[in-house]
Chains A and B, each alone.
Chain A
């Protein structure tokens, strides 16, 4: 199973080695995106406080929209940084 996959996207894999990622929130529907829970959203921001793009995090478009709103709300009430926290 591994071998053919390596062949089909060999170009991709030689440079990046990233598998197709599944949206975290689609995979586990019990996960709620809540701006109050900064701890769990923190996974989706970079060290500098930027929102991690979909192509990196693998989040689907729908959940990325929700997540984006949650991050912006959390920023607004100082639960999350606008800029580099250090």
Chain B
């Protein structure tokens, strides 16, 4: 339990874990309570806790296609992650977890722990995020076509609509550029070649 950092310096971590899709609020509360208990027991500081709601997983995890995503950001010392992950492993409802170190050297007093940032109520209730469909919509968008599909998908999530907008702008730019070159090239044959994607790849590789 020896802290390698001086007592007044801490590390900042974030942990995402996936809870079983059939878990009710009381199960999630129990998992959340366990995490809070561990963080406070090891003199850590919980900075942020979020519940992203039940989302579709990109691939099945323990034969589950969906799961509740919970997100924690906290300060702690070297013993924090192993202890927290040990606790998550013991909980059967936790399917998968991942911890990422965000910052090596933080002054704990500089990071206020605000109670309003800590909530385990789902941000997006029951909003499923079909990964495949989103990907397809994005690819259509990247090709510079239908923006309608994109906005429809974006509506399911408040936080991400902004990102979608910026992406739209950029694709729009691409489109106009394409238009320009097409105009510039008088020979019909060239423009046609320019549009096949395979040609692009090979050509760039050379």
Contact = CB atoms under 8 A, between A and B. Distances in A.
Contacts of B98: 73, 76-77
Interface centre among A12, A17, A37 (most CB of B within 10 A): A17
B128 interface: no
Contacts of A45: 135
A40 B8 CA distance: 37
Interface in A1-55: 2-3, 6, 12-19, 24, 28, 31, 35-40, 42-43, 45, 47, 55
B137 to A, nearest CB: 9
Contacts of A2: 180-181, 184
A77 B15 CA distance: 10
B194 interface: yes
B185 interface: yes
A44 B157 CA distance: 21
Contact of B181 (A12, A17, A37): A17
A61 interface: no
Contact of B203 (A12, A80, A86): A12
Nearest to B66: A78
Contacts, number: 104
A37 B164 CA distance: 11
Interface residues of A, number: 39
B91 interface: no
Contacts of A3: 184
A63 interface: no
Interface string B164-197: 1011001000000100110011000011011100
Interface of B: 16, 18, 57-59, 61, 67, 71, 96-98, 100, 131-132, 134-136, 138-139, 142, 157, 160, 163-164, 166-167, 170, 177, 180-181, 184-185, 190-191, 193-195, 199-205
24 contacts: A2-B184, A3-B184, A14-B193, A16-B200, A16-B202, A18-B200, A38-B58, A39-B157, A39-B163, A39-B164, A42-B135, A43-B167, A55-B201, A55-B204, A56-B200, A76-B98, A77-B18, A78-B59, A78-B96, A79-B58, A81-B58, A85-B58, A85-B132, A86-B132
